[in-house]
Chain A
Amino acid sequence: MDVVPAGPEALLIDLDGLDEVAAVGAALRDALDRGELPGVVDVVPAARTVLVTAPGARDSLRAVRTLLEHVDPTAVPDRDAAGTVELPVVYDGEDLELVARDAGWSTDDVVAAHTGAELTVAFGGFAPGFAYLSGLPEALRQPRLDTPRPRIPAGSVGVAGEFGGVYPRTSPGGWRLIGRLTDDAPVLFDPDRDPPALLVPGTTVRFRDAGRP
């Protein structure tokens, strides 16, 4: 664990992998929720880092450093607390054939692997309600498209690198698309709901084949 400043009001914590990010992110979020980090506003886990911000309250970062001295980054966070979400998918994505070819599989194999995987929300970002899902089968860990698409429809299900994900709303993006959520799938982001994001770090996600259109 390496802690570097990100300006005078934030710290960036460098970590060794998604498990460490999960452990440190959960410890900081829990402390924040318990009111132990006054002045801290954001705790932002990412692929290998956790960002902690304290706008206008830079002295608060001292408490963060102290807390980090007592956090075990190898601790296994309690996954069960975050629950499980099942998402129904129509597997007709524009890049399904491409993903199958690069995996050396049939498209049915891709669907079977994707629905058979138990994925975990590693962190959020990119857009409100977007979750980076870890635990993708090795053959589905494929590069981004060379040229991002300017407009990806909401509900599109994709893969990129070590992560899977679902676009909560129409946006540009470069992930390889293998399917889309059905219209009656749970809503990923609703600012009027508490919590607004359906997929929070630690949530277990399973995709279900909802059949062909």
Chain B
Amino acid sequence: MTRELVVEEVGPQALVVDRGRPGWAHIGVPPAGALDGPAHALAQRLVGNPPEAAGLEILLGGLALRVTGAATLALTGPPGGLRVRRAGAPERVAASHQAVHVAAGDVVVVPAPATGLRGYLAVGGGVAVAAVLGSRSADTLSGLGPAPLEVGTRLPVGPPTAIPPHGTGAVGVSVAPDAVRVRLHLGPRADWIDDAADRLRTGTWTVAPTGDRVGVRLEGPALERADARRGEELRSEGLVGGAVQVPPDGQPVVFLADHPTTGGYPVVGVVDPAELAAFAQLRPGSSVRFSPVATPPPA
């Protein structure tokens, strides 16, 4: 019989995620996928899954899952731990960032992390919901993929793989500092913003409370239109993850995995892909600074 994860409690948001469904932007399909990609990949490795396996992305904990068969789990992301409840036994606490074995009937609880926002839970065999356009990821913008987890949701688990867990590698606990400085590749529309490089280098922004998987809004010094572009309307153009878009109010938005495929406000720069995962964990009120760099064309 197929093993299942049965949702008994759910916090602010819990979603099935994998590496997403890139390649369909031309028909309006967002890339989706785990926001903290390295943490998700590490969780899969810890339980012996292939990298394309699906797991769960859990915003601020609050999730309790009953497992219907013996399973191996691992929680990654910010440091923390799992609680395992078993009838007739004291509650067990298991550290994050390691494989945890549970028995049929055990209830696994993911508490809210002390720092950061999003934990990643992998199960050996992977979450085996049906793939849509090659991915099992939920997509909060388009609604493609599995619905957000609710109490009573039953998630099928795939057969265990023969892959041995392959260690923690170089990637560890997701760092969720109160302040970050990220590399920002200027363009493609930096010339639409007045004195873009200098303003971006010297300003400090605060993560607004309205952030979600589509994007994180930053509050701080307004990025104003360059005089030469004032009143001009940009026609919608393709967007990449990490694009920093500047709407008319000058408060930048950093686009994350569920971003629309096109947008009509100028993109002043793009966060370096290696540093974008930090935005999965930045709590509202965290401060963000940029190190703007010009992007050289490939040699």
Residues in chain A within 8 A of chain B (CB atoms):
3-10, 12, 29, 41-51, 53, 55-56, 58-59, 61-62, 65, 123-130, 169, 189, 191, 195-197, 200-201
Contacts and interface: CB of A to CB of B under 8 A. Distances in A.
A46 B237 contact: yes
B243 interface: yes
A5 B240 contact: no
Contact of A5 (B22, B242, B297): B297
30 contacts: A4-B188, A6-B187, A6-B238, A6-B267, A6-B270, A7-B187, A8-B273, A8-B295, A9-B240, A10-B240, A41-B23, A43-B26, A47-B235, A48-B235, A51-B25, A53-B25, A56-B273, A58-B298, A62-B298, A124-B261, A125-B28, A125-B236, A125-B260, A125-B262, A126-B236, A128-B27, A128-B142, A191-B132, A196-B24, A196-B27
Contacts of B297: 3, 5, 65
Interface of B: 22-29, 132-133, 142-144, 185, 187-188, 235-243, 260-262, 267, 269-273, 295-299
Given A55-B273, A196-B133, A65 B240 contact: no
A128 B243 contact: no
Nearest to B299: A62
A47 B261 CA distance: 13
B40 to A, nearest CB: 15
Task: Count chain A CB atoms within 10 A of each CB in B29, B185, B270 and give the residue with the most.
Answer: B29
Given A7-B295, A191-B132, A42 B238 contact: yes
A7 B260 contact: no
Contact of A44 (B235, B238, B298): B238
A6 B243 contact: yes
A7 B185 contact: yes
Given A49-B237, A126-B260, A128-B142, A7 B270 contact: yes
Given A45-B26, A124-B27, A195-B27, 7 more contacts: A5-B185, A12-B188, A29-B26, A51-B238, A51-B240, A191-B133, A196-B133
Contacts, number: 133
B267 A46 contact: no
A194 to B, nearest CB: 10
A191 B295 contact: no
Contacts of B238: 6, 12, 42, 44-46, 49-51, 53, 125
Given A6-B240, A7-B295, A12-B237, A44 B25 contact: yes
Contacts of B298: 58-59, 61-62, 65
Nearest to B297: A5
Interface centre among A51, A61, A125, A196, by most chain B C-beta atoms within 10 angstroms, is A125
Q: Which of B25, B242, B296 has the most CB of A within 10 A?
A: B25
Q: Which 7 pairs, one residue from A and one from B, show the smallest C-beta to C-beta distance? A: A51-B238, A7-B270, A44-B238, A47-B235, A5-B295, A125-B262, A197-B27
A20 to B, nearest CB: 13
Given A46-B236, A126-B262, A128-B29, A9 B273 contact: yes
A126 B261 CA distance: 6
Nearest to A189: B27
B214 to A, nearest CB: 13
Contacts of B25: 42, 44, 51, 53, 125
A129 B242 CA distance: 24
A110 to B, nearest CB: 25
A46 B133 contact: no
A3 B144 CA distance: 32
Identify which of A6, A12, A124 gathers the most chain B CB atoms within 10 Å of its CB.
A6
